[in-house]
Amino acid sequence: MKFFLFTVGLLAAGAGAVGILCYRLSLDSDLQSENRSGDTMAWLRTEFHLDAAQFRAIARLHEAYGSVCASHCRAIMNARRNNAQPAEIQALEDECVRSMTDHFRRVAALMPPGQGDRYLALVLPRIGDYSHTGAPTLRGTP
C-alpha cells in the first residue's frame, strides 16, 4: 500500500508538471508582455494579426476617436456633477455607447477577415452595461 500511494503521488505530480509545462509553452510571450504592459494598441496588433497598414489605419482611428470619447466623458461627468435629470444622463450615456459601438465597428472593418468579428465579440459585450466612469478596458469597465 505504501508503494501504491507513492506511485499515485508521483504520477499526479508528473501529470501536474506536464500540464503546467504545456500551458506555459502555449502562451504567446509577446501577447502576454503587451497585456501586462497595458499597451492596448500593441496587444491589438498581435492578437488580431494586423499588418503594418491595418495597424496604422486603426491607430489613426483610435487617435481621432480619443477627443470624441473625452467629450462624451466630460458631458456625462458634468451632468452627474450638476445633478441632471436621470433621463438626460441616460441619453448622454446612450449616445456614448452608440459612439463607441460605431468606432469599434469601424476598427473591425479594417481588420483581416474573421478577425473583425472576433474583435467585436470581445469588445461589444463590455459596453452593454458600461459604467461611464472611465475608458473601458479588456479587464472590464472601471
By the 8 A CB rule, do 104 and 71 touch?
no
The answer to whether 130 and 136 have CB atoms below 8 angstroms apart is yes
Tell me the β-bridge partners of 137: 140
Q: Alpha helices, DSSP H only, in 27-114?
A: 29-37, 40-47, 52-81, 86-109
Residues in the chain: 142
Instruction: Collapse the DSSP code of 103 into the 3-class scheme (helix H, G, I; strand E, B; otherwise coil) and give the result.
Output: helix
In this prediction, residue 11 carries a pLDDT of: 45
Phi first, then psi: give them for residue 114, nearest 5 degrees: 85, -30
Residue 114 reports pLDDT greater than 60: yes
Asked if the model's pLDDT at residue 36 lies above 90, the reply is no
What pLDDT is recorded for position 26? 47
* pLDDT tens column, 65-102: 999 999 999 999 999 999 999 999 999 999 999 999 99
For the four alpha carbons of 95, 96, 97 and 101, in that order, the dihedral sign comes to: positive
- Residue 128 burial (CB count, 10 A): 9
The larger pLDDT score, comparing residue 36 to residue 101, is at 101
Distance of CA 123 to the CA centre of its chain: 6
Confidence band, pLDDT 50/70/90 cuts, at residue 54: very high
pLDDT at 140: 54
